[in-house]
Chain A
Amino acid sequence: MSRPPPGSDGPRAGRVALGAGRGSRGEFEIRDLAVAYASDSGHTPVVGGVSVRVRPGLITGLAGESGSGKTTAALSAIAYLPAGARRLGGEALLDGQSILDLDRVALRRLWASKISYVAQDAGAALNPARRIGSQLEEILTVNRGLPRAAARLRTAELLEAVRLPDAARARRRYPHELSGGQLQRIAIAMALAPDPRLIIFDEPTTGLDVTTAAEVIAMLGGLIRERGLAAIYISHDLALLAAISDELVVFYAGEVVESGPTRELLRTPRHPYTRALLDALPSTRRALRPRGIPGLPPGRVVSDRCGFASRCSHADARCSREQPALVALDPDRRVRCVRAGELGVLPSEAASILEPVRARQGAPILEVDRLVCEYGQGAGRIVAVDDVSLVVREREVVGLVGESGSGKSTIGRAITGLLIPRSGTIRWRGQELPARGRRTPAQYREIQIIFQNPDSSLNPRHTVGHLIGRAVALFRDDVSGSAGADVIAEALREVQLDPTLMSRYPHQLSGGQKQRVAMARAFVARPRLVICDEIISGQDVSVQATILELVRTLQREHETTLLFISHDLAAVRSIAQYVYVLQGGRVQEHAPTEQLFEAPGAEYTRRLLAAVPEPEGSA
Chain B
Amino acid sequence: MGRAVARWVSIVVGGIPGRVGLGLAVGALAVAVVGPFLAPYGYTTLAGPILQGPSPTHVLGTDQLGRDVLSRILYGGRSVIILPACAVTLAFALGGALGLLVGYRGGRLDQLVTRAADILMSIPPLLLVMVLVIALGTSDVVLIATTGIWFTPRIVRIVRAATASVCTKDYVLAARVRGESTASILWNEVTPNITGTLLAELALRLNYAIIFITTLNFLGLGVQPPSSDWGLMVSEGRAFLGHRPLISIMPAVMIGALAIGVNLVSDQIAVFLARNVQTSSRL
Contact = CB atoms under 8 A, between A and B. Distances in A.
A308 B282 CA distance: 31
29 contacts: A417-B177, A418-B176, A438-B179, A439-B179, A441-B179, A444-B177, A444-B179, A448-B177, A449-B174, A449-B177, A451-B170, A451-B173, A456-B170, A456-B171, A457-B169, A457-B173, A457-B174, A459-B169, A459-B188, A459-B192, A459-B193, A460-B193, A461-B4, A461-B192, A461-B193, A470-B178, A505-B282, A507-B281, A507-B282
Interface in B70-108: none
Contacts of B169: 456-457, 459
A471 B178 contact: yes
B189 interface: yes
Contacts of A505: 282
Contact of A470 (B4, B188, B283): B188
A349 to B, nearest CB: 35
B178 A462 contact: no
Interface in B174-231: 174, 176-180, 188-189, 192-193
Nearest to B189: A459
A456 B172 CA distance: 9
Contacts of A444: 177-179
B124 to A, nearest CB: 36
B171 A459 contact: yes
A120 interface: no
A418 B180 contact: no
Given A449-B177, A459-B171, A507-B281, 7 more contacts: A417-B177, A418-B173, A447-B177, A451-B173, A457-B173, A461-B4, A474-B180
A486 to B, nearest CB: 21
Given A456-B169, A460-B282, A474 B178 contact: yes
Given A459-B192, A507-B281, A451 B180 contact: no
Contacts of A456: 169-171
Interface string B154-177: 000000000000000111011011
A458 B192 CA distance: 13
Nearest to B174: A457
Contacts of B180: 474
Contacts of B283: 461
Contacts of A439: 179
B179 A462 contact: no
A163 to B, nearest CB: 35
Interface string A451-467: 11100111111100000
Nearest to B177: A416
Contacts of A461: 4, 192-193, 281, 283
Interface in A542-566: none
A546 B2 CA distance: 38
B256 to A, nearest CB: 36
Among B169, B176, B178, B192, the one with the most A-chain Cβ atoms within 10 Å of its Cβ is: B178
A38 to B, nearest CB: 20
A573 B188 CA distance: 39
Contacts of B281: 460-461, 507
A520 to B, nearest CB: 13
Nearest to B283: A461
10 tightest A-B contacts by CB? A444-B179, A461-B192, A457-B170, A460-B281, A456-B170, A459-B171, A451-B170, A416-B177, A507-B282, A456-B169
Contacts of A458: 171
Q: How many interface residues does chain B have, given as a range?
A: 10 to 19
Among B170, B174, B179, B180, the one with the most A-chain Cβ atoms within 10 Å of its Cβ is: B174
Contacts of A459: 169, 171, 188-189, 192-193
Contacts of A507: 281-282
B181 to A, nearest CB: 9
B179 A474 contact: yes
Interface in B247-283: 281-283
A277 B87 CA distance: 62
Q: How many interface residues does chain A have, given as a range?
A: 20 to 34
A432 to B, nearest CB: 17
A451 B282 contact: no
A471 B193 CA distance: 20
B182 to A, nearest CB: 11
A462 B180 CA distance: 16
A525 to B, nearest CB: 8
A444 to B, nearest CB: 3
Interface string B235-255: 000000000000000000000
Nearest to B176: A418
Contacts of A453: 170
Contacts of B282: 460, 505, 507
Contacts of B192: 459, 461-462
A474 B178 CA distance: 8
Interface in A384-426: 416-418
Among A457, A460, A521, the one with the most B-chain Cβ atoms within 10 Å of its Cβ is: A460
Interface in A461-518: 461-462, 470-471, 474-475, 505, 507
B183 to A, nearest CB: 14
Interface string A250-269: 00000000000000000000
A416 B180 CA distance: 13
Contacts of B179: 438-439, 441, 444, 474
Interface string A227-254: 0000000000000000000000000000
Contacts of A452: 170
Contact of B174 (A417, A441, A451, A475): A451
Nearest to A419: B173
Contacts of B178: 444, 470-471, 474-475
Nearest to B191: A461
A449 B176 CA distance: 11
Nearest to B190: A459
Contacts of B4: 461
Nearest to B192: A461
A462 B195 CA distance: 13
A416 B193 CA distance: 24
A227 B281 CA distance: 46
A448 to B, nearest CB: 7
Nearest to A522: B174
Contacts of B177: 416-418, 444, 447-449
B283 to A, nearest CB: 8
A459 B174 CA distance: 10
A452 B169 CA distance: 12
Nearest to A416: B177
Nearest to A453: B170
Nearest to B168: A456
A418 B176 CA distance: 7
Nearest to A415: B177
A206 B173 CA distance: 26
Contacts of B176: 417-418
Interface in A258-309: none
A258 B4 CA distance: 49
A415 to B, nearest CB: 10
A383 B174 CA distance: 24
A457 B188 contact: no
Contacts of A471: 178
B162 to A, nearest CB: 14
A418 B167 CA distance: 13
